[in-house]
Amino acid sequence: MPRDPLPSFGTPRAPDSDPERKPSVEALTNNLQVIFQGLALGSIYALVALGFVLIIRATNVVNFAQGDFAMLGGYAMVLFFSALGWPYALALVAALVVMAIFGVLFNYGVYYPLRHRSFLPVLISTLGASIFLQNTVLAVFGPQPRPLEKTLPVDGINVGGVFLDSQYLVILAVTLLLVLGTYLFFEKTLLGKKLQATSQDKDMARLLGIPVALMISITFIYSAVLGGIAGVLVGPILFVSIGMGSIIALKAFAATIIGGFGDVTGAIVGGLLLGVIESLAAYHISVPYKDAYAFLALFLFLLVRPQGIFGEKVSEKA
Amino acid sequence: MPPKISRPWLVALAIVAIALPLIPYRFEVSAYVVQMFMQAVTYAIAVLGLVVVLGYTGQINLAQAAFFGLGAYGVALGTVTGGWSFWLSLAAGAAVATGAGLALGLTTIRLGGHYLAMITISFQQILDLVLVNWIEVTRGPDGVAGIPRPSLAGFELADDRAYLVFCAAVLYVVVFAVWWLPHTRLGRAMRSVRENELAAEVVGVHTLRTKVVAFSLSALLGAIGGGLYAGGFAYISPDNFNFARSVEFLTAVLLGGAQSPFGGVIGTLLIVQMPEWLKHLPESLRFIKDVYLAVYGIGVILIMVFLPEGIWGLIKAARARLARPADTTDTSGVAPLDFDVPGAAGGPVLRVKALSKHFGGLKAVDGIDIEVARGSVHALIGPNGSGKTTSLNVVSGIYRPTAGQVMLGEEDVSLLRPHQRAGRGMGRTFQNIRLFSTLSALENVMVGAQRDRNPIGRGNRALRARAMSALAFVGLADRAHVIVRNLPYGHQRLVEIARVLAGHPRLLLLDEPAAGLNQTEKMEFVDLLRRLRGHGLTIFLIDHDMGLVEKVSDRITVLNFGRKIAEGSPQEVLRNPDVIAAYLGTAGKVN
């Protein structure tokens, strides 16, 4: 198969041990270092999970190509910034415009023709889209992972023995802004209210004169742009690669379940929690199985609290 | 009985099937081609697992390559590391895979849908990690070489040709079993889950068990395919069993047609051959070979949009057009429907005690008491939003009550799941008809007849006889073989009632049974209710049509805002000022 093994990223760097320091202090700073990295990683999961949730709410479908939105965003940045040499800001804007257009294409190519069918055909269709995207990008860019410049031209700062990498700080800041912005957008603007109305009851929204098809298009655009940003942000840390999207998407989806299926707050909290859990587990238990911990956490949650942290138990209506 | 295939077809199919794997004995065929067919045959066995779980039961499984891998590693490690016999190793691998399928199914399948997709992908990824990293046991990325082939009853299967014949024989057995399955109790239960899970549960299908069994069967078939694959190729490594392979299996089953074993086999053959054909492309199109997975991706979307039932769906449609089967069914020898429920004693059939159902702060049902006398028709009425349907949902087990009790006869059924209540003789229909739309009327009713403890024989013959009697009772016996979605609306209502009657209900719950019927159909329906009552059946129904309720009911209970505001004979209740106020909203306020 012309596929990369899934990259294992964000592996916590073991801080250089300082013989002068007391072991307990060292353990504390090491753990703080790992938690910091876990939070940044978790932010990426949270961003992609947010994209998941918005589409789930608008269409009732899990988009299995959500992670590939991040992958595409990363490659768009590689193209405009690294290959064409555009200034960072211009390249970023161009990449996000590409993602927006892609969101529309995705809606009309993958979701729209199947909108009246049950969730299973749509789910399979998004899976097909994911395979198509990965292998098309593979054909264009080749299997070699591509490096991406950091957003800020500085390395980072050291706070009390904990090294705060600038890219991780950028990820945390941008995530915070986007989450806040998303909240304001949905709660305070008319367009946001219309989107909410569409996600709650399409027929009723249509009767009230809300253009439902347009609202769903907008949701896909927003979700694709969010994914693209996640890809651009995480690119400098783990390289831009074909498989980067799948693994992020799986973790992000796990985050939506842990947080509460279809719940916006849940997606964000779940993402952060998952990032921290897997970083700590990788540091304390074993690195090769890093990607397994998120799934184990997910199994555990499904057994103990299947509705997630913020979810409510719902039953089907007759 | 499975649908009859006409004899010439059957003979032709059998000849081709037997002849194909024997070709290498008669003609010169390169080892490469033999190996390719070995791949196709072993893959097909795994793909047939997907037919069972996805095609029949409607549950997604994105980890079929993982189960395939468990079977393959079972054989590889059992024979090479453990020194066991091939057969023992195959059995061990199959047991591990089935156990894993069972464990996955039991923990997550009740969540269904998206969760299952996610969990199966996770399982696939974890197994991938374990195969690569647990080097002491799995030998890591290098894989396992030198896997031997078995001997069978004194025949050595070391020769490629002999081994291919053996694998083909296994495949044929599996194809036959998978083809037979839909027409068994289990198979009908699976298809009812696929078509309408809620209705299946309420009619008496243990939906959770059915899904878990389907999932485990799928894992078992995956493992058998994988075990034979390991023997066929003598060498395996983790990248034979990754997510991409699961996607390949999925594409195969969708392309061929997930609802038929023949579809699964056709799809697998095409998927295995595809890279070969791409080799012969002209130079300018050669690049497609490098991105054939991208082609799969687009293919999956196109199949979903344009070919939802795959290639086999096309073949089936063409065949149906050629040979139009008779729409009417022979109804001679159909016994009249009996309504006897053994062990039914006196006393009320249904007692609802201080029943409440709250949704957050909303008290949809707030402490109601109802007794439904044996042999009576009892109606529950009330304005929109008064809690009628919620009450019915609590009584039939779709909702758990917040407080209070539901007693069926002398038994407290408050905490039983819907299929358990059906198994105790509670039957219900739905306001918006919930039939298994791609099954025939007969099959729909047979699902109703196969509830637990239905006092009829267990075999298919008894189920069928019971179902025909129920259909005859509602006047549709001659339409028994029509696919129900092709029946007119009024007939669909009747099939739904026949489905319940086939299960010998002690209590019949009808949720707005006359909704959507025209005047003539309503008259016929009133007549049907009277006949049912005449047979001593107890009926509890909700309806909006006051004329109908007045005509058929012995007793009426009126709800408003989740509370009971009146109860009595139709004459008493319909003159009650509180009831009139509740319906017409005049001055009289109700607490």
> pLDDT per residue over B355-393, tens digit each?
999 998 899 999 999 999 999 999 999 988 889 999 999
The ipTM, to two decimals, is 0.81
Question: In B, which residues are within 8 Å of A138 by CB distance?
Answer: 291, 294
Residue B19 pLDDT: 87
What percent of chain B shows pLDDT beyond 90? 66
Say yes or no: A287 contacts chain B, CB-CB below 8 A: no
pLDDT in tens, B177-198: 999 999 999 999 999 999 999 9
Residues of B with Cβ-Cβ distance to A298 under 8 angstroms: 118-119, 122
**In chain B, what are the domains?**
33-322 (1.10.3470), 352-425+509-591 (3.40.50.300), 434-505 (no CATH)
CA distance B414 to B404: 8
Is A125 within 8 Å of chain B by CB? yes
The pLDDT score that the predictor gives to residue B524 is 92
Nearest CA in chain B to A125: B301
Which residue in B has a C-alpha nearest to residue A109's C-alpha? Answer: B301
- Looking at every residue in chain B, the average pLDDT score rounds to 90
> Which chain A residues contact residue B62 at CB under 8 A?
127
Q: How far apart are CA A148 and CA A151, in angstroms?
A: 9
Per the confidence metrics, is the pTM higher than 0.80?
yes
Query: pLDDT at residue B15 above 50?
Result: yes
CB contact under 8 A, A291 and B398: no
Asked whether the beta carbons of residue B125 and residue A250 sit closer than 8 angstroms, the reply is yes
Report the range of poorest mean pLDDT among B55-69, B219-233, B343-357, B532-546. Answer: B343-357
Quick: pLDDT tens for B479-511. Answer: 999 999 999 999 999 999 999 999 999 999 999
Q: Say if residue A210 is exposed, middle or buried (CB neighbours under 10 Å; 0-12, 13-18, 19+).
A: middle
Chain A residues in contact with B119 by the CB 8 A cut-off are 298-299, 302
Label residue B98 by pLDDT band (50, 70, 90): very high
What is the token pair recorded at A194?
């219309």
| pLDDT tens sequence across B99-149 | 999 998 888 777 767 778 888 988 998 899 999 999 999 999 999 999 999
Of A1, A257, A306, the CB nearest to B242: A1
Which of B123, B239, B254 comes nearest A124 by C-beta? Answer: B254
Segment B283-332, tens digit of pLDDT: 777 666 667 778 878 888 998 899 888 999 999 888 888 776 656 778 88
Chain A interface disruption, residue of B61, B193, B207, B300, most A CBs within 10 A: B300
DSSP letters, B417-474, are -HHHHHTTTEEE--SS----TTSBHHHHHHHHHTSTT-SS-SSHHHHHHHHHHHHHHT
* A19 within domain boundaries: no
Residue A274 in any domain: the answer is no
Query: From CA B246, how far away is CA B239, in angstroms rounded?
Result: 11
Task: Please name the residues in contact with B303: beta carbons below 8 A apart, sequence gap of 6 or more.
Answer: B254, B255, B310
> Do B113 and A253 make contact, defined as CB atoms within 8 angstroms?
no
Residue A55 covered by a domain: yes
Asked if A131 has any chain B CB less than 8 Å from its own CB, the reply is yes
Instruction: Give, in degrees to the nearest 5, the angle at Cα B39 between B38 and B43.
Output: 120
What are the residue ranges of helices labelled H in chain A? 23-59, 66-77, 88-106, 119-141, 166-188, 190-200, 202-207, 212-238, 244-259, 264-284, 290-304
pLDDT digits (tens, 9 = 90+) for A111-138: 999 988 888 888 889 988 998 999 899 9
Q: How confident is the model at residue B343 (pLDDT cuts 50, 70, 90)?
A: low
**Structure confidence at residue A12 as a pLDDT band (50, 70, 90):** very low
Q: What is the mean pLDDT of residues A23-46?
A: 88
pLDDT at residue A139, rounded to an integer: 86
In a domain, A291, yes or no: no
Q: How many domains does chain A fold into?
A: 1
Which residues of chain A have a CB within 8 Å of the CB of B299?
A: 128
B170, B388 contact by CB (below 8 A): no
> A66-70, A264-268, B93-97 — which is least confidently predicted?
A264-268
Do B294 and A288 count as a contact with CB atoms less than 8 A apart?
Answer: no
pLDDT at A150: 87
Q: Is residue A148 part of a domain?
A: yes
Name the residue facing B114 among A2, A62, A114 (closest C-beta): A62
Residue among B198, B293, B399 minimizing CB distance to A2: B293
| Nearest-CB residue to A289 (from B62, B129, B304) | B129
Q: What is the Cα–Cα distance from A113 to A110, expressed in whole angstroms?
A: 7
User: How does the average pLDDT of chain A come out, rounded?
Assistant: 85
Mean per-residue pLDDT, B41-59: 97
Tell me which residue of A299, A228, A292 sits closest to A258, measured CA to CA.
A299
Domain membership flag for residue A196: yes
Q: Given pLDDT bands bounded at 50, 70 and 90, which one contains residue B587?
A: low
User: Is A117's Cβ below 8 Å from some Cβ in B?
Assistant: yes
Quick one: pLDDT at residue B290?
67
- pLDDT exceeds cutoff 70 at A316: no
pLDDT of residue A8: 41
Res B132: pLDDT: 93
Q: Say yes or no for a CB contact (<8 Å) between B122 and A306.
A: no
Q: Please give the residue range of the domain that contains residue A230.
A: 47-258
Say yes or no to pLDDT of B336 above 70: yes
